[in-house]
Structure 1
Amino acid sequence: MSSKQKKETPLMKQYMEIKEKYPDSILLFRVGDFYETFHEDAIITSKVLGIILTKRGSGANKETKLAGFPYHSLDTYLHKLVKAGHRVAICEQLENPKLTKKIVKRGVTDVITPGVSLNDEILDQKENNFLAAINLNKNQVGIAFLDISTGEFLVGEGSFDYSLNLLQTFNPKEILILKKDVLTFTEKGINKEYFFYVDEWMSNISTSFEKIKNHFKLKSLKGFGINNDCQGIIPASIILHYLEDSHKKNLSHITKLKPIISDAHVWMDRFTISNLEILRSKFQGGKSLLDIINKTKTSMGSRMMRMWLSFPSIDLNEIKNRQEIVSDLISNSDINLHSLLKNIIDLERLVSKLANGRVSPRELVNLKESLISCTEIKNIIKERSKKLKSISKEINIDKKLIELISYTLIDEAPVNILKGNAIKKGVNKELDSFRNILQNNKKNLQDILQREIENTGISSLKISFNNVFGYYLEVTNSHKNKVPEEWIRKQTLVNAERYITEELKEYEVKILNAEENIKNIELLEFEKLLKKLIPYCNLIQQVAKTIGYLDCLQSFAEVSVTNNYSKPNVNESFIFEAVESRHPVIEHSLEGSKSYIPNDITLNKENQQILMITGPNMSGKSAVLRQTALLSIMAQVGCYVPAKSLKMGIFDKIFTRVGASDNISQGESTFMIEMLESSLIINNMSERSLILLDEIGRGTSTYDGISIAWAISQYIHDDQKKPLTLFATHYHELNMMTDKFKRIRNFNIQVKETSNDVIFLRKLIPGGSAHSFGIHVAKMAGMPQEIIKISKNVLKGLEKSHGNKNEFQINDSSELQLTFFDMENKNYEEFKDELESIDTNNITPMQALVKLSELKNKIRDEK
């Protein structure tokens, strides 16, 4: 044995043995009434929780850092550690310290991590708490997501970019990843703090399939719509291994595996979801689309709403079905579902707690009351429309489930079963007997006291209790000569003496045993109830899904009436026709009597495929682009829209290229980001895509920018897919494109000029704009008058030297032949070789544009 081991106390030796098994976790080590942390864990715990870090000797005066808190404060502190990104292992005492003379047996009973928790203080009731796993294959990425708190389990596969998009959309709190893949993802900006590394052996496809099939007790996964070559099975298996081995979780409530089918919903890349501010605003205090239309009353509904907005449907039948239910709810406005929905607790997460034995008596009473509310909802809606009746059929509640809880638990059941008084009278006769003993305790003690007073003649005799020697008789000094010999003196005070008797000790044992027996019997009856309820988990999950679905549609109905939305006509056409459309978020933020200026927006593949929108900065070009996308998303999740009318075909992809910022950490300039995002659009657009382009080309020089913006617009126009596109630009030269391309139309945001000022009318009208009014915007921003004056003088000089916009011409290709180079130029051969080296069969449109820009810069440098 080493000298170090000799110095360790038995307690610290036990701690080190357990800590060795959980090196990546903060170990909360139960010692009596405290959870203690030691060494490095203590330093972290002290810092995160703001509690005192102490030092004490251990063994041969070895100094040990220590930080701890009372065991009953676990819920107060646990969520702070987890939300700070730490993994926490809870080590409990596994036996009663009073019943052993050796060191108390201890073991880890739970591991809580950011992505795996059933704790209400850690979980956000309105969001899923996903654990993700990723596996990189040669050509595809397998990915899986599990929210253990709700039982939702999803798998997907696709390109690397697709997996990044899913990661952003699902926003997992923890990512399981093989060590070999870490660098690949960190280079793409994924926060390394979210990673937890798993062993390479877990990435075997055949063993992964066996693991999944064994969990679901199936011979094939085809019933879930999952083929044998699905790459998402590997990360799904990794998740199950991780939860069973590291977390020791019961996974019986995870009964379904759902494939994420990329072509079953609107495809939006990570830039689009962020740029459109669908789930969250980019600005502190700002509103997102979710904030505006989410009026759900249940946690299940709120989480489902987020998923719908992240993955809008392209199933026309489902969209129509949701619309009809929303219409029915609006028509049946006398149905007051709000109060009933508010009464329903988070049924999905309660099922997870039930499966893992973490549910409290009070939560089960709340479950009973929630199921009663669900039954009332079922009875109300089944008498209404055909669609509402179909929903009512999905709310299947077994009366026996409610009866089991009602029979066993009192309505005012405590949070903790160990606090007692949770089980109803009549459930257990022995329990009732022990309760009677306690209830008659006062009377029984009074009887003993009265008997002793009569026997001894001590009229001032008292019976009391303390933790040192239990029940005792107290005799004043003036009567101590009357004390019987069989009484046993336990304490002498200044004015009195305290005694115990054989009868009192026997009664004390009876009382204390009754208290202990009551706790044990109540716990036993509660555990029996849990076992009886577990078979109903699937039923409760189904009810939860249906209530969440109804809650979302009730939210749509409420917001549609409140905000004066209209029912969109979604169909299989290739048009977008919005009359008097409004931006749902901006109109909500307008103060006082201000109202949003509505706009008509029409797109089609015949003569108005691309809208080229010009106008001043701050005039509202970007708002028009965004509201077009937001109306499309709202329509395809089944909601009404802020417009007088909307007729549109289904979009299967929505792309945006807006905003400008450098990504310095990855060495990418504003222009490079523009080109990368534009390239993503060009390479992935479909015939049912909606493309929003805002100020393409502003990250480079003016003429480069115009050239690239023109080329991208022309490419989209000429492509046989003809995706519907809105292009906002400050390059007024692009207005000429409408003369050369039959499906490009010019629009501008109307501006009213006065002698000294400009007024933005926010109205989209046909025709191009000849001015950007940049100096007016600078004036509005509060620029010093001297700068405004200088700007005007410089502008006049530039306009005079460069002439008007009509001097900008795009020549026919025949006029451009060999005019770029002087044949005698010494660098001609170099340019020629570089051009000939380009593989035109394999180069993408965006790569060609970037190469063209590089060659132009070289030519300019030569000049």
Structure 2
Amino acid sequence: MAMTPLRKQYLKIKQQYPGTIVFFRLGDFYETFDEDARITSKELGITLTSREMGKGQRVPMAGIPFHAVDNYLGKLVSSGYKVAICEQLSPPGKELVERDVIRVVTPGTLIEPALLSDKSNNYLVSIIVEGNEAGLAYTDITTGEFATTQLPLSQVTNELDRLGPAEIVVPENVGGDWLASSISAPISRLDNYWFDYEVAHRVLTEHFGVVSLEGFGCASLPLAIMAAGAALSYLRENQKSALGQLTGLTTYSTSSFMALDAQTRRNLELFASSRHGVAAGSLISVIDLTFTPMGGRLLRKWLGQPLIDMKEIERRQEAVEKLFQSAALRRRLSAFLKDIPDMERLVNRVRGGVATPRDLVALCNCLEKVTSIREELEGGGWRWEWLDDELKPFPEIVDLLKRSLVDDPPGSIGEGGVIREGFSAELDGIRLTVRRAKEYLANLERKERERTGIKSLKVGYNSVFGYYLEVSKPNLRLVPSDYIRKQTLANAERFFTPELKEYESAILHGRERMVELETALFRQVCQQVAGVGDGILSTSRGLAQIDTFLNLAEVAARYGYVRPKLDTGNSITIRGGRHPVVERTLGAEAFVPNDTYLCNDDAQIIILTGPNMSGKSTYLKQVALIVLLAQIGSFVPAESATIGIVDRIFTRIGAQEDLAAGQSTFMVEMLETANILNNATPRSLIIVDEIGRGTSTYDGLSIAWAVVEFIHNHSNLRAKTLFATHYHELVRLSNFLPRVRNFNVAVVEDGGKVIFLRKVVPGGADKSYGIHVAQLAGLPRTVIRRAQEVLSQLENGQMRLGNNRVVGSAEKVAHQLPLFDHSAKLVKEISQLDVDSMTPLEAIAKLYELKKKAQDASL
């Protein structure tokens, strides 16, 4: 069947991009055809039409206006589709317009400002796995960030959770199920060829123009090289550009930072509340007062990667301290920073060749403020070398942009009026010619009315017929002989004269030449700016640091935080600690501060008891958050704090299930607990809020007991631990485990009411107050009354059902609950266990043996 040339052109391009929706430019629209059109119509809610593209052949079609492409792109990409942008590369004419794909838009390669989050990175991550090791590289082409690492396979999902990638690239022949089950980002596959070491090495060295990767720190890390080279190849394949914005590669090690697994990030609610999954109620929602997008992104990076290097922590603390001490300096800096746009992304739009005139003007305004910010900082006593290296004002670029661009340019270069008068003599000459021609035309209407006597004569213009003289039909008899007919309308005729045609040619040619010359001049300016792009990028990152330091200082001043002391010791001492989020919700006056002392040598483990709603979870989390804030260089919500550097924070909080992975609540609990016991070190902080609630009382208590013993006795673990529990029997562990301390959250009873004091005090709790909590939750009164009746009967020695039949006695119940009182023999056996010498399998087997003996003893 015969096809039109346009149809042949489309099919040829579409064949090159299988699995991708092709946006095919036709005039002012991007059109999609065939199955692409059906998908586009359904996903975007636009009309599905058809077009004849061959004799008797109508093809499904759906189109969107080119000027509104960003919104539609965002919807398709967020739904998991890739979109190839096919542009017209030659002006419309009699021949078929030349077209080709200029880039493929995927979730990890977005550059459209409207589709990006200001304070979050848009990372593309590449992963290669060999055995138990992995290479992982990530890049954000909108900011120029490009980093790579080689790490144990077991750490990959934690690193992915930290990065929150928009897209993950893996080799074509590798299954991605293990990733898909742990992270929601779309997974793209790249030919294995690009993950080959030799190929990846060549791609990187050619891109950076070097002969060795020694200078990037990854020469001895083959998997890191493979991941980085594959990421670069994927970007080239989709961006169709030289990727000038990627000018460096950073090699990093996860061991240089405090380790936070995905569960800990979620449990501590660093970036989203666990209840609603949104930023409100999270730590970032309270401590992010940054002014700039760059500062917001840097703060999130710091929160996700707390430091373990004392010198770097102290460097940050010193910066925060200087700003904290001067409210006036904070106010002046805030005034400069509040209007600074996303300088990182502006620079990279310039280097990527997609900057608009307004982008350059915004960049100029940013650089102008840098000088003022430097002066403020130096006047405030800042004397750090990094200020000179990372906060350069580039006066020569400011001068270039001031001389070359008008103050308020149009949105795109094609509209004209971008280049300032006086910058180009040639452009000024063309503008003068066009201006004079326009002045002539402005006078022509008056002159022709006087010459012809036609009072209604008008000079007009449209894009099809150009300039014309319009005469109404009643006045056609007055038209002079030198008028040449151009167009007939219902009530008028349009004419031109040789003189009008001459000036029209001057104007239109002049306009065309002006746009061409302005475009060329604008590109030259962009090239000059891009030439110092690395330096400007350093300045933008310097501004991000200033913004982040200022943010932490303002948070400290506004919320009453103090500078913590950090050391390499093995203790954590906090006086008057507060939860940074909860205190903002309740108000500083309503929040009850609490002290904490943990030390590997004496108070290694705190067993915390108390009723629900008393504040146990808040207390546990606040200790972890204070440690984390201290290690990003922040001040902390406390009266004072001394923190021994922590290498990792573990959390086991709440009851969750993972039905998709076939894991019950109890299995999830045990997996999280196993992760803690297998990976914690003496420098770790462990936060446990209940273990064993997902199984029977006997099993749960046995496991909780054994876990505390293991943490206490295992010499390679022995981590500082806060262990909240409802198993009051665990308080007895302090009788024979010397580094266990008991604390409870105090409550008082007043006239039958229970008042939660929220104060953590020494000793174990003697009651649970569960019925009181149930009453607060709104359980029906009949349920509450019956629960009180059952509790009273249990405590008084008899428990009766509705028929008053005695089913137990106080003695029997007492024998059921305190499991370890049944037999001194059983206690002795447990105390004599050599836990340190037992393998995990032996420990589990012994645990089941003890469980059976305990059950037998209770019969």
TM-score of the superposed pair, with normalisation by structure 1: 0.92
1:344 is aligned to 2:368: no
Q: Deviations over 1:439-473 (max 9, x none)?
A: 33443125545665676566665433344533333
Q: Distance in 1 between matches of 2:281 and 2:829?
A: 53
Tell me the equivalent position of 2:132: 139
Which residues in structure 2 correspond to 1:603-622 (within 5 Å)? Answer: 603-622=598-617
Please give the alpha-carbon distance, in whole angstroms, between the structure 1 residues aligned to 2:852 and 2:171.
44
The answer to whether the Cα contact below 8 Å between 2:413 and 2:519 also exists between their aligned partners in 1 is yes
SS of equivalent residue, structure 2 residue 175: helix
Amino acid aligned to 2:347: V
Q: How does 1:778-797 map to 2 (within 5 A)?
A: 778-797=774-793
Of 549, 557, 561, which aligns to 2:557? Answer: 561
1:652-675: CA deviation from partner (whole Å, max 9, x where unpaired): 111001111121221211111111
- In structure 1, distance between residues paired with 2:28 and 2:214: 51
Q: Is the 8 A contact 1:397 1:539 kept in 2?
A: no
Report whether the alignment pairs 1:289 with 2:300: no
Partner of 1:78: 73
**What amino acid is aligned across from residue 809 of structure 1 in structure 2?**
D
Q: CA distance change for structure 1 residues 707 and 457 in 2, over 3 Å: closer, same or farther?
A: closer
Aligned mate of 1:261, from 253, 258, 261: 253
Find 1:244's aligned residue among 233, 236, 250: 236
Secondary structure at the counterpart of residue 134 of structure 1: strand
C-alpha separation in 1, matches of 2:784 and 2:845 = 36
**2:574 is aligned with 1:578:** yes
Query: Residue in 1 aligned with 2:821?
Result: 809
CA-CA distance at 1:389 after TM superposition: 7.4
**Contact 1:344/1:374, CA 8 A, preserved across alignment:** no
Give the letter for the 1:544 counterpart: S
- Residues 157 and 163 of structure 1 are in contact (CA less than 8 Å); yes or no, is this contact kept in structure 2? no
Code of the aligned partner of 1:603: L
Question: How far off its partner does 1:437 sit?
Answer: 3.1
- More displaced 10-residue stretch of structure 1: 703-712 or 122-131: 703-712
Conserved 8 A contact 2:573-2:642: yes
Q: Which residue of 2 aligns with 1:549?
A: 545
Q: State the Cα distance separating 1:770 from its structure 2 match.
A: 1.7
2:321 alignment counterpart: 327
Return closer, same or farther for 1:619/1:12 CA change in 2, 3 Å cut-off: same
The aligned counterpart of 1:828 is none
Equivalent residue runs for 1:465-544 within 5 Å? 465-475=461-471, 480-481=476-477, 483-491=479-487, 497-544=493-540
| 1:333-732 correspondence runs (5 A) | 333-335=327-329, 336-387=332-383, 391=387, 394-448=390-444, 461-475=457-471, 480-481=476-477, 483-491=479-487, 497-590=493-586, 595-720=590-715, 721-732=717-728
Show structure 1 runs of 5+ residues with no match. 1-5, 819-838
Q: Please say which of residues 379-388 and 261-270 is displaced more in the overlay.
A: 379-388
| 2:21 aligned partner, one-letter code | I
**Using the alignment, how far apart are the partners of 1:352 and 1:737 within structure 2?**
60
Aligned with 2:579: secondary structure?
coil
Query: What whole-Å deviation, never above 9, does each CA across 1:602-640 have from its counterpart, x for those lacking one?
Result: 111222000000000111111111000000011111111
Distance 2:82 2:754 in 1: 58
Distance (Å, rounded) in 2 between the aligned partners of 1:628 and 1:229: 37
SS of aligned partner of 1:431: helix
Counterpart of 1:80, as a letter, is K
Matched, 1:110 2:94: no
Q: Would the alpha carbon gap of residues 841 and 746 (structure 1) be closer, same or farther in structure 2, given more than 3 Å must change?
A: closer
Cα distance, 1:258 vs structure 2:
1.8
Q: Counterparts of 1:174 and 1:49 in 2: how far apart (Å)?
A: 22
Mean alpha-carbon deviation: is it higher for 342-351 or for 278-287? 278-287
Q: Is the 8 A contact 2:296 2:548 kept in 1?
A: yes
Is the counterpart of residue 768 in structure 1 residue 761 in structure 2? Answer: no
8 Å Cα contact 2:6-2:53 kept in structure 1? no
TM-score by length of 2: 0.92
Q: Residue 816 of structure 1: CA displacement? A: 6.8
Measured against aligned partners, the alpha-carbon deviations of 1:343-364 in whole angstroms (never above 9, x if no partner) come to: 2221111122111110010110
Aligned to 2:158: 165
Residue in 1 that maps onto 2:227 = 235
The aligned counterpart of 1:823 is: none
8 A Cα contact 1:187 1:666, kept in partner: no
Structure 1 residues 496 and 15: alpha-carbon distance in aligned structure 2, compared to 1, 3 A threshold = closer
Choose the corresponding residue for 1:27, options 9, 22, 25: 22
Query: Cα offset for 1:803?
Result: 2.1
The residue identity in structure 2 corresponding to 1:311 is: Q
- In structure 2, the CA distance between the partners of 1:810 and 1:122, relative to structure 1 (3 Å rule), is farther
Over residues 287-330 of structure 1, what are the superposed CA-to-partner deviations in whole Å (9 max), with x where a residue is unaligned? 11111111111111100100100000111111111111111112
Q: CA RMSD in A?
A: 2.6
> Given residue 105 of structure 1, which amino acid in structure 2 is its aligned partner?
E
CA contact (8 A) 1:381 1:389 kept: no
Letter paired with 1:571: D
Deviation at residue 201 of structure 1 after TM alignment: 2.0
Q: Indicate the larger mover: 237-246 or 610-619.
A: 237-246
Letter in 2 for 1:803: A
Counterpart residue number, 2:264:
272
What residue is the counterpart of 2:807 in the other structure?
none
Amino acid at match of 1:107: D
SS of equivalent residue, structure 1 residue 370: helix
For each residue in 1:514-561, what CA deviation from the matched residue of structure 2 results, as whole angstroms up to 9, or x when unmatched?
111111111111111111111110011110111111111100010101
CA 1:496–1:232 in 2, change beyond 3 Å: closer, same or farther? Answer: closer
- Percent identity reads 40
- 2:306 equivalent among 307, 312, 315: 312
Task: Determine if the alignment matches structure 1 residue 844 to structure 2 residue 856.
Answer: no
Structure 2: how far apart are the matches of 1:796 and 1:661? 32
Structure 2 residue matching 1:730: 3-state secondary structure: coil
Residue pairs, 1:210-225, within 5 angstroms:
210-225=202-217
Structure 1 counterpart of 2:732: 736
CA distance in 2, matches of 1:389, 1:208: 36
Query: Retained in 2: the 8 A contact 1:704–1:853?
Result: no
- Give the deviation of 1:41 after TM superposition: 1.6
Separation in 1, partners of 2:419, 2:209: 36
Tell me by how many angstroms 1:694 deviates. 1.1
CA contact under 8 A between 2:157 and 2:182: conserved in structure 1?
A: no
Task: Kindly state the Cα deviation for residue 43 of structure 1 after the two structures are TM-superposed.
Answer: 2.0
CA distance in 1, matches of 2:445, 2:818: 113
Partner of 1:119: 112
Matched residues in 2 for 1:596 and 1:665: separation? 39
Instruction: Give 1:182 shift.
Output: 2.2
Task: Single out whichever of 56-65 and 622-631 deviates more from structure 2.
Answer: 56-65
Q: In structure 2, the residue corresponding to 1:55 is in which secondary structure?
A: strand
How far the C-alpha of 1:584 sits from its partner, in A, is 0.4
Is contact 2:218-2:224 (8 Å) kept?
A: no
2:799 maps to none
1:719 positional shift: 2.0
